[in-house]
């Protein structure tokens, strides 16, 4: 089998890359380890930056997103018995975010690829990147009982943090930066309308909690938990008790309960792989970098990488220039480090660190109070939250 760009992974990065390349007249094949139902139902991100929404709409993916996505003009931060609203309209000159589940983005992308007869192979196994430094790289994989080979001009490694693409770059060719946080997030999807029109981030004495949503009928909540905890440690009653305690800081506000549709625990990590290119292998999205979800940046970053990679590949095919491909790692990493910093900052500000001293707690509260009092501090948070590109 032959294509111009072989793409490993059918997450937001791989599918969007394939879609944009198609619109630019470049052929690709996407190889995905899991089945279609699995990738379409994986509950993950929910917040899209303004730039992400604009990009998806520009490439014809806005129809359902603009109809069903919930536009938000602010977020609320709770701490102590206080509440502070970050007003995006006022602080960013009218930018905002859209709440639309990652699995909905995935469904839209798969539908678009299939409508255009795109080649998407699910359930592939034993994927290997071959000869990335040569002019004729290929991807070897197993599909059903067959050993197969995909010859291509370029390979896009969009296979997430646990994929094979990054691992196929020799250790001496990359530098990795890694931080593991001493807590995880327990997330639940709930069959109940959201209890607030906007997301609520809470720094409570018992630890972090977040109230979010997916639709007018479904809410999404998270609580900080110890990283070694398992789902069995958290029966429904224990989750609700922690959520009520951490979120209900203001008189008169209560969190609505409902049937729990899904439960999962996510470890928290910041990770950046420098470089994002090894010969004709290009990394995009979580394959190259991950952030803790506190800033809601992971999928947005994956999409920003794809925007740059698709332009670089288009330039290469249209006029033979590799200037943008050469600049790809540097251009992406500038955006990546900004968001890595923001996600780390939000995480540090809002969580209870094990062994945290009273001094450290006071520093958090002092910063939260500064945020509440200073429009400049709130504007900095708002600008990063809705997406700061440079
Ligand atoms: P993905 O989505 O992990 O997709 C990678 C795909 O590659 C496949 N794969 C392979 N395929 C073939 N061969 C192999 N050897 C393979 N190994 C893996 C996988 O099956 C998968 O289909 O990476 P991508 O495309 O880079 O997208 C990244 C995003 O998924 C991720 O950054 C976000 O989900 C992060 N994230 C959030 N991002 C936001 O922008 N806003 C949010 O509000 C937000 N909230 C979140 C989040 C992530 C969370 N979890 C569960 C990690 C909330 C949570 C709880
Ligand atoms: C979500 O709705 O899943 C969500 C919202 C905000 C975050 C992370 C996740 O920071």
Instruction: Report CA(290)–ligand 1 centroid distance (Å).
Output: 9
Contact 13, 306 (CB under 8 A): yes
The alpha carbon of 28 and the centre of ligand 1 are apart by a number of angstroms equal to 20
Give the CATH number of domain 181-268+354-386: 3.30.9.10
Query: Could you tell me the distance, in angstroms and rounded to a whole number, from the CA of residue 227 to the centre of ligand 2?
Result: 18
Tens-digit pLDDT profile for residues 91-138: 999 999 999 999 999 999 999 999 999 999 999 999 999 999 999 999
Taking Cα atoms as reference points, which of 19, 6, 31 lies closest to residue 307?
19
In this structure, which ligand is nearest to the CA of 48?
A: 1
Pocket of ligand 2 (CB under 6 A): 45-47, 199, 210, 212, 220, 293-294, 296
Asked whether 382 and 91 are in contact (CB, 8 A), the reply is yes
Q: Identify the bridge partners of residue 85 per DSSP, sorted by sequence position.
A: 76
- Closest ligand, as measured to the CA of 45: 1
Q: Is 79 exposed, middle or buried (0-12, 13-18, 19+ CB in 10 A)?
A: buried
Ligand 1 center from residue 360 Cα (angstroms): 32
Q: Is 376 exposed, middle or buried (0-12, 13-18, 19+ CB in 10 A)?
A: exposed
Query: Which of 7, 102, 199 to mutate for ligand 1's pocket (most ligand atoms within 8 Å of CB)?
Result: 102
Q: Which tokens is 7 given?
A: 């793409």
Domains of the chain, by residue range, sit at 5-72+99-178+269-346, 181-268+354-386
The token pair at 163 is 């994929």
**Nearest C-alpha to atom 13 of ligand 1 is from which residue?**
33
Ligand 2: which atom is nearest the Cα of residue 44? Answer: 3
Ligand 1 nearest-atom number relative to CA 141 = 13
Domain 5-72+99-178+269-346 superfamily per CATH:
FAD/NAD(P)-binding domain (3.50.50.60)
Cβ proximity of 238 and 226 under 8 Å: no
What is the model's pLDDT at position 284?
Answer: 98
Rounded average pLDDT over 146-173: 97
Report which of 332, 314, 283, 286 is spatially closest to residue 4, judged by C-alpha positions: 314
Q: What is the rounded average pLDDT of the residues 356-375? A: 96
CA atoms of 181 and 354, how far apart (whole Å): 10
pLDDT single digits (tens) 326-355 = 999 999 999 999 999 999 999 999 999 999
Mean pLDDT of 231-242: 98
In this prediction, residues 9-17 reach a mean pLDDT of 98
| pLDDT for position 80 | 83
- Say yes or no to pLDDT of 196 above 90: yes
Say if residues 113 and 120 touch (Cβ distance below 8 Å): yes
User: Strands 119-121 and 28-31: what pairing?
Assistant: parallel
How much is the average pLDDT of 184-212?
Answer: 98
In this prediction, residues 65-69 reach a mean pLDDT of 97
The answer to whether 72 touches 198, Cβ cutoff 8 Å, is yes
- pLDDT higher than 90, residue 145: yes
d(CA 101, CA 54): 16
Q: What are the helix (H) ranges across 116-255?
A: 236-247
* Residues 3 and 277: beta-carbon distance below 8 Å: no
End-to-end CA distance of the chain: 39
Sequence-ordered list of residues with C-beta below 8 angstroms from that of 255, at least 6 positions apart, any chain: 195, 211, 221, 243, 244, 247, 248
| Contact status, residue 79 vs residue 247, Cβ threshold 8 Å | no
SS3 193: coil
pLDDT band at residue 81 using 50, 70 and 90 as cut-offs: confident
pLDDT for residue 184:
98
Helix (H) or strand (E) holding 82: strand 82-87
Judge contact between 127 and 134, C-beta under 8 A.
no
| pLDDT above 90 for 6 | yes
Name the closest ligand to CA 44. Answer: 1
Does the pTM exceed 0.95? yes
Ligand 2 center to residue 99 CA distance, Å? 9
Q: Which residues are catalytic?
A: 72, 201, 293, 297, 385
Residue nearest to atom 50 of ligand 1 (CA): 44
In 3D, which of 46, 20, 9, 50 has the Cα closest to residue 299? 46
Higher pLDDT, 270 or 390: 270
d(CA 246, CA 244): 6
């Amino acid at each position: 089998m032959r294509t111009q760009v072989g793409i490993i992974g059918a997450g937001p990065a791989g599918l969007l890359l394939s879609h944009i390349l198609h619109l630019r007249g470049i052929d690709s094949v996407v190889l995905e380890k899991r089945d279609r139902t699995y990738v379409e139902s994986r509950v993950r991100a929910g917040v899209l930056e303004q730039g992400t929404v604009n990009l998806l709409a520009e490439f014809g993916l806005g129809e359902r997103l603009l109809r069903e996505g919930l536009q938000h003009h602010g977020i609320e931060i709770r701490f102590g018995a206080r509440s502070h609203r970050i007003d995006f309209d006022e602080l960013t000159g009218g930018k905002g975010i859209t709440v639309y589940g990652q699995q909905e983005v995935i469904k839209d992308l798969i539908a678009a690829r299939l409508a255009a007869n795109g080649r998407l192979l699910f359930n592939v196994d034993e994927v290997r990147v071959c000869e990335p430094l040569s002019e004729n790289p290929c991807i070897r994989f197993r599909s059903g009982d067959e050993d197969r080979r995909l010859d291509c001009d370029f390979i896009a490694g969009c296979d997430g943090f646990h994929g094979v693409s990054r691992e196929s770059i020799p250790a001496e060719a990359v530098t990795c930066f890694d931080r593991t946080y001493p807590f995880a997030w327990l997330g639940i999807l709930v069959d109940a309308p959201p209890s607030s029109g906007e997301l609520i981030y809470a720094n409570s004495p018992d630890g972090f909690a977040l109230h979010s949503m997916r639709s007018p009928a479904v809410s999404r909540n998270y609580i900080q938990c110890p990283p070694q905890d398992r789902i069995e440690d958290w029966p429904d009653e224990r989750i609700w008790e922690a959520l009520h305690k951490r979120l209900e800081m203001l008189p008169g506000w209560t969190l609505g309960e409902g049937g729990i549709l899904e439960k999962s625990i996510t470890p928290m990590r910041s990770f950046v792989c420098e470089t994002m290119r090894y010969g004709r292998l290009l990394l995009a999205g979580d394959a190259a970098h991950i952030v803790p979800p506190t800033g809601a940046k992971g999928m947005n970053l994956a999409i920003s990488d794809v925007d740059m990679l698709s332009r670089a590949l288009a330039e290469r095919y249209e006029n033979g220039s590799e200037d943008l491909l050469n600049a790809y790692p540097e251009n992406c990493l500038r955006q990546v480090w900004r968001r890595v910093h923001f996600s780390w900052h939000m995480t540090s500000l809002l969580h209870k660190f094990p062994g945290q001293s009273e001094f450290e707690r006071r520093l958090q509260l002092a910063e939260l109070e500064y945020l509440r009092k200073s429009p400049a501090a709130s504007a900095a948070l708002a600008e990063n939250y809705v997406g700061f590109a440079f």
